[in-house]
Amino acid sequence: MNIDQCKIFLFQGDSITDCGRDRGQEAVANHNQALGPGYAGKIAGDLLAEYPSLPLQVFNRGISGNRVVDLYARWKCDAVNLAPDCLSILIGVNDLWHKLDGKYDGTVEIYEHDYAALLKRTKKALPKVKLVICEPFVLRCGAVNDRWFPAFDDYRGAAGRVATKFDALFIPFQSMFDEAVRYAAPAHWARDGVHPTPNGASLMAYSWLRAAAKA
């Protein structure tokens, strides 16, 4: 993916993307608080530093608690209307977590179907958009225990299939963290097993940018 050919970058997803961003400033491109301190904000900072002469606009529209169905409901105003050149999506952990907690009765089949429908809708409205699909991930600590598996691996697989179907760049975050825990405990990267620490967010940003540069 030729990053320097993209002018508008949009990051979408759940709380991992949201990361406490200031939604009151979300309409302002490249706003520090609107981008948040997570991986999306770190990617934005690196892009803006590396390409200072380009008129880049970076937005974060992640919302805590979202599942694929929630993205679909707000997609026109929070994605299509922004007309991004590069759209990065990280979604999936809540599709299972809410099910485990009895708050949702969705299945991996629904997740995959709705995700594909979301991307089909996106490509119809924005045929030239460059899609980046981030692999859902968890680390075995905090809220994440044996009850998550093997179901969570099915959601990861579904995200990968959707990425392939729509010729999207796939960022293997789970594989990245599986390698990272060889060097530091899971809680070093995500204390509750789901939401990255600053260390985890920095690793995500590094991996995203590296993969985008090679694509």
Residues 6+ apart with CB under 8 A from 29: 8, 57, 58, 59
**Is 192 assigned a catalytic role?**
yes
Q: What is the CATH number of the domain that holds 210?
A: 3.40.50.1110
Catalytic pick among 14, 15, 53, 167: 15
The angle subtended at Cα 205 by Cα 68 and Cα 185, nearest 5°, is 90
Contact between residue 59 and residue 67 where contact means Cβ atoms under 8 Å apart: no
The amino acid at residue 162 is V
Quote the tokens at residue 26: 């979300």
Question: Is-cis flag, bond preceding 150, omega within 30?
Answer: yes
Rounded distance between C-alpha atoms, residue 74 and residue 51, angstroms: 30
Q: How many domains does the chain have?
A: 1
Residues 6+ apart with CB under 8 A from 163: 131, 133, 169, 170
The DSSP code for 38 is S
Catalytic pick among 14, 31, 114, 195: 195
Rounded distance between C-alpha atoms, residue 122 and residue 130, angstroms: 10
List the pLDDT tens digit at each of the 215 positions of the chain. 777 789 999 999 999 999 999 999 999 999 999 999 999 999 999 999 999 999 999 999 999 999 999 999 999 999 999 999 999 999 999 999 999 999 999 999 999 999 999 999 999 999 999 999 999 999 999 999 999 999 999 999 999 999 999 999 999 999 999 999 999 999 999 999 999 999 999 999 999 999 999 88
Q: How far is CA 47 from the centre of its chain?
A: 17
**Is 15 assigned a catalytic role?**
yes
pTM: 0.97
Enumerate the β-bridge partners of residue 90: 13, 134
Domain coverage including residue 175: 3-214
Catalytic pick among 64, 154, 192, 202: 192
Give the other-Cβ count within 10 Å of 107's Cβ: 15
